[in-house]
Structure 1
Amino acid sequence: MSVSVAKFSLDWAELRANRDLQYVLKLSFRSLWFLQCRTSPPEKMSAFDVIEYYYSDIKDLTLLEEANTKFLIIMDSFDCYQAPLDWENVPVINDNYTKAHIDVLIVNILRGNVLRGARLWILGRRAAVSQIPSQFIDVSTELQGFSNEMKDEYLTKRFSNTELAENIKSHYKRVPMLHILARHPFVCWIVATMFSRSFCYEGYGRYPPRLTPFLIHFLIIQTNRRLKFYYNQKDNELKWSDREKKLLTKMGKMAFMMLERNTSVFFEAHVKEVDLELKEVVVWSGLCTELCPTVIPGKRTFGFSHFTIQEFMAALYVFLMFYLESKNVLESTSSFTLRYNNKSAAGLVQCALARTCNSSSGRYDMFLRYLCGLLSPACHYNLLRGFLCRHNTPKVAGLDEVERLLEQAIENAPSSSCQSLKECLREMLQSDE
C-alpha cells in the first residue's frame, strides 16, 4: 500500500497522471495517532490546524475552500489509529476552523462535513477499514498481490547479479507452498532476502529449501515490523517483551483449536476465547486477514493469511507448551499404544503421529512436519532463541528417539503417507537427503 501511495504521488508530481488535481495532501492515520497522544489531555485542533502542522509551507489555506479547487487527501495506515471511532455519537462539525479532538475530526472528515471539497483515499488492512460505515465509502479496492510473471520480474530486477536471480527463482519454486505464498509481495521480498544470503554458502541450492526455518523468519520479521510500525521502536531498539510472546502463543493456541475443529475460519468470539483483542490479532499481528465475502452473512469472519501459516502457528503452540512448560497438549487423544514417555520429544511426536494417521483428510500432515522442524536445534535453538525462548534455554533432548520413531513409521506407513513422513524427518534433521 505504501508503494501504491508513493507511485501515485510521484506520477501526479511529474504530471504523468491525475493532472486535474491541484493539491495532494497526505494525512497518515499513524501521524494523526501521534498527534492525538502528543499531549495529555489530547489537544483540540481544527482541520486546518492539522494541515498547517504537517504542511507549514501552505500559507493560503482558503484555497482549499474555493469551489473550483480540486484536491486529494491520502489517509493511509488506518489500522495505526489505535482508538475506537464513534460513528454514531460524534458531534457534527460544519467548518474547517472549529477545534475538536482528533478522533472527532477524523469522523467528520470521513463523513464529508469537514474539508468538503476533498476527495479521500483511505488505505489500511481490510479488517481495519471494514469498521468504516459503508455509506461513507464510494469505491473499495483490494491489492491482490503478484502474478507468477510479476514474481519473476521482481526477483530479476531485485539483483544486479543475473545468475543469483535465476538461482533464487528456480530454488524457491521447488517448494510449491513457497511459490504460492510468494504472491504476497512481502513474502517475495523475504524469499529474495533469505535466499540471497543462503546462496553465499558454497554448495547451497542443491536440495529444496526447508519450510520451517522460512516460516520462523517470516514470523520474526512480521513481529519486528509490528514493533516498528505500531510501537515506533527503532531498528537498534527492537526487543520482544512478554506481550509479543503471549500474543504469538495465544494465536498459536487459537490456530491449534481451529485445526482440531478442521476449519480455517475464526470469529471475534474465538479471539476472545484465548483472551486476545480482535485488532491485535487481525490487524497488528500481520498474520491474519478479514475474509470477504463472509462465510455467514452479516457476521465478520477472519482467517490466517494462508492455511499453512495457521498450521505452522498451531505447531508452534504445541512445541512451546512442550519446550517451555513441559506440557504435551496432544496426549489426551492419542490412540497409539504408548511406547514413549508423553513428556519426551518422542512421546510428543508419537501423539502427533496418532492424529496424522487417524485423519483421512491429511489435515495434520503439515502440522506434523512443522512440529518436527521446530524440534530441530537449527530452528528452536538457533532461530527462536532470544525471541520466543530465553538465551539460556537448552536444546531439546531425545531427538535420536524421535528419529527412530519416524523411521519406523516410514517403514510401516502406506505408500500414500510415506513421502510426507520422510519430509517430517528431513525437517527435523534439517537435512536434504
Structure 2
Amino acid sequence: MSVSVARFCLDWAEMHANKDLQFVIKLSFGHFWRLRNQGVPLSHNLSAMDMIEYSYPDCRGMKYLEEEDCRFLIVLESFDCYQTSLDWQNAPVINDNHTKAHPDVLIVNIIRGTVLRGARLWILGRRAAASQIPTQYLDVVTEIQGFSDEKVDQFLTLRFCDAALSTKIIRQFKRIPTLSIIARQPFMSWMVAQVFERCYRYRGYGEHPPRLTPFYLNIMIIQTNRRLQFYHGKMDHELKWSSDEKNLVTRIGKLAFKMLERNTNVFFEEDVKECALKPTEVTVCSGMTTELPYAASGKRTYCFIHFSLQEFMAAMYVFTMFRGESKNVLDTGSHKPKIFKFKDQTKSAAGLVQCALTRTLAAPLGYYEMFLRFLCGMFSPDCHDNMLSGYLYGHKMPKMTGLDDVQRLLEQTIQAAEENQRDRVENLKECLREMIQEDE
C-alpha cells in the first residue's frame, strides 16, 4: 500500500496524472495515535490544520484549503495503527478546520466530511481494520492484491527450468483457496516456490498433499535455517537448532500472540523487549518481520512480513506452550466452558481447542479465524510429530493423546454452528480439514 501511495504522489508531482488536484497531503493514523497517547500540549486538543502543520511545517498559516474551488486529496495511511474504537454515532460535529478536539473526534469528522470539506479522502489499511468505517462514508473500496493469478503462474513457471516441477507446484498450491490469495503478494509467491521446491525433493511428496499449516511450518523452518546460514555461517549439514533457535522462535510466537490479542499487526522495540528478545534478532535476522516506514515519528515500527504469518506464529506459540510445558495460555481461569467438570480438563488437547473456539466465536468475524485454523492444524501428527521433531521438539517426545476428542469437538461445533452461526461454518470445516490434513 505504501508503494501505491508513493507511486500516486510521484505521478501527481511530475504532472503525469491527476492534474486537477492542487495539493496531495499524506497523513498517518500512526501519527494520530502517537499524538493521542503522548503527554504533549497538542496531544488531546488539536484541529485538522494543527495536524497538517504538525506533519508539514511549511503549511503553517496556509489558507488555500478553505477556498471553495480548492481541489485536494488527503491520504490517510495505516488505519490499523489507530488502536481504539471510534464513536461514529455520538462524536460531536465539527464544522471548520480550526476547531480543536480530541483525535478520536477529529478523525470521525474528517471521514464524515464536515472537516476539510473540499478534500477527497483516500484511507489505507487492512480490511479487518477498515471495515469498522460505516458504509455511508465510503464511495469506493479497492483491494490491493499484488500479483494477479496469471502473474503468480508466470512467476512459478519461469522460476524453474524443470517444466514438470513448475506444473506440479502450480497444481499443488492452487488446491487451497487461502494459499492462492496469499500468493498474490510477491514475497509469498517466492515462498511458495521455496517451500514446494524443497518438499518435492522428497520421494512420494504430493501423493497425499498437505494443507495450509505444513506450508507455514516450512516457512518458519526455512527462514530460521537461512538465518543460521546467512548470519552464523552454518553449512547445510549443520542446521541443527540449538536452544537459542528454539527460544527465538517461541518468543517471536509469544510476540505475535500478544499483538493478536491487541488486534494490531504493528509493534515497537519495547514490545520486542517485553518478550525477552533482542530487537536485531527479531527485526533483522529472523526473516519473519520487516520495518515499516514511519520515520517521521522517530520511533521504529515493525510488522510480520504477512499478517497470516503473525496468526500462524501466535498459534505455534500457544501450541508449543501446551506441547512442551503443558500450559494452556488461552485459559484465563474466568469463564470456563460448561463441558469442563474439573479444572485440569482445560489442560487437555480438547480443552485447549475449546478455549480457542470460545475466544474465536465470541470475537467479531475475521479476528481469530486463521489463528484457530493454524492451531487445529498443529494437532495433526504430520505437523507436530513429523515436521517439528528435531527442530522444536526432540525425536523421543511422547506421542500426543486426546486427538480423537479434538476431532469430535470440532465436528460437534460444526453441527451447532450450522443452526446458530452459519457464517462460521466454513472456517470451522477448514479447521477440521487442517487437523486431519484431508481436503474432505
Give TM class, smaller chain: 0.5 to 0.7
**Is the contact made by 2:376 and 2:435 (CA closer than 8 Å) also made in structure 1?**
yes
Moved more, 157-166 or 346-355: 157-166
SS of the counterpart of 2:318? helix
2:366 match:
362
* Structure 2 counterpart of 1:231, one-letter code: H
1:267-286 residue pairs with structure 2 within 5 A? 267-286=268-287
**Is the contact made by 1:328 and 1:343 (CA closer than 8 Å) also made in structure 2?**
yes
Residue 429 of structure 1 pairs with residue 431 of structure 2 = no
Please list the CA deviations of residues 219-267 of structure 1 after superposition, one character each: whole Å capped at 9, or x if unmatched: 1111111001101111111211110111111111111111111111101
Number of equivalences: 286
**Is the contact made by 1:226 and 1:286 (CA closer than 8 Å) also made in structure 2?**
yes
1:339 match:
340
Residue 351 of structure 1 pairs with residue 326 of structure 2 = no
Shift in Å, 1:331: 0.8
Residue 389 of structure 1 pairs with residue 393 of structure 2 = yes
**Is the contact made by 1:334 and 1:354 (CA closer than 8 Å) also made in structure 2?**
no
Paired with 1:387 and 1:302, the residues of 2 have a C-alpha distance of: 26
Please list the CA deviations of residues 119-160 of structure 1 after superposition, one character each: whole Å capped at 9, or x if unmatched: xxxxxxxxxxxxxxxxxxxxxxxxx98665543233213445
* Structure 2 counterpart of 1:162, one-letter code: A
Paired with 1:229 and 1:307, the residues of 2 have a C-alpha distance of: 25
**Is the contact made by 2:157 and 2:167 (CA closer than 8 Å) also made in structure 1?**
yes
Aligned-pair Cα RMSD in Å: 2.4
SS of the counterpart of 2:392? coil
Q: Could you say if the C-alpha distance between residues 354 and 228 of structure 1 is closer, same or farther in structure 2, counting changes exceeding 3 Å? A: same
Q: Could you say if the C-alpha distance between residues 415 and 194 of structure 1 is closer, same or farther in structure 2, counting changes exceeding 3 Å? A: farther
Residue 415 of structure 1 pairs with residue 419 of structure 2 = no
Q: Could you say if the C-alpha distance between residues 430 and 157 of structure 1 is closer, same or farther in structure 2, counting changes exceeding 3 Å? A: same
Question: What percent identity do the matched residue pairs reach?
Answer: 53
Paired with 2:156 and 2:289, the residues of 1 have a C-alpha distance of: 25
* Structure 2 counterpart of 1:282, one-letter code: T
SS of the counterpart of 1:331? coil
Shift in Å, 1:422: 0.7
1:322 match:
322
Q: Could you say if the C-alpha distance between residues 192 and 320 of structure 1 is closer, same or farther in structure 2, counting changes exceeding 3 Å? A: closer
**Is the contact made by 2:319 and 2:378 (CA closer than 8 Å) also made in structure 1?**
yes
2:289 match:
288
1:31 match:
none
**Is the contact made by 2:304 and 2:310 (CA closer than 8 Å) also made in structure 1?**
yes
Please list the CA deviations of residues 394-432 of structure 1 after superposition, one character each: whole Å capped at 9, or x if unmatched: 221101111111010000112110110011111111112
Residue 307 of structure 1 pairs with residue 307 of structure 2 = yes
SS of the counterpart of 1:328? coil
**Is the contact made by 1:256 and 1:314 (CA closer than 8 Å) also made in structure 2?**
yes
Q: What residue ranges of structure 2 are gaps of 5+ in the alignment?
A: 1-144
Q: What residue ranges of structure 1 are gaps of 5+ in the alignment?
A: 1-143
**Is the contact made by 1:148 and 1:183 (CA closer than 8 Å) also made in structure 2?**
no
* Structure 2 counterpart of 1:383, one-letter code: M
TM-score scaled by structure 2?
A: 0.61
Q: Which runs of 4+ in 1 moved over 4 A?
A: 144-150, 197-205
**Is the contact made by 2:195 and 2:219 (CA closer than 8 Å) also made in structure 1?**
no
Paired with 1:379 and 1:302, the residues of 2 have a C-alpha distance of: 28
Q: Could you say if the C-alpha distance between residues 365 and 420 of structure 1 is closer, same or farther in structure 2, counting changes exceeding 3 Å? A: same
* Structure 1 counterpart of 2:264, one-letter code: T
Q: 1:183 aligns with which of 186, 192, 198?
A: 186
Paired with 1:331 and 1:202, the residues of 2 have a C-alpha distance of: 37
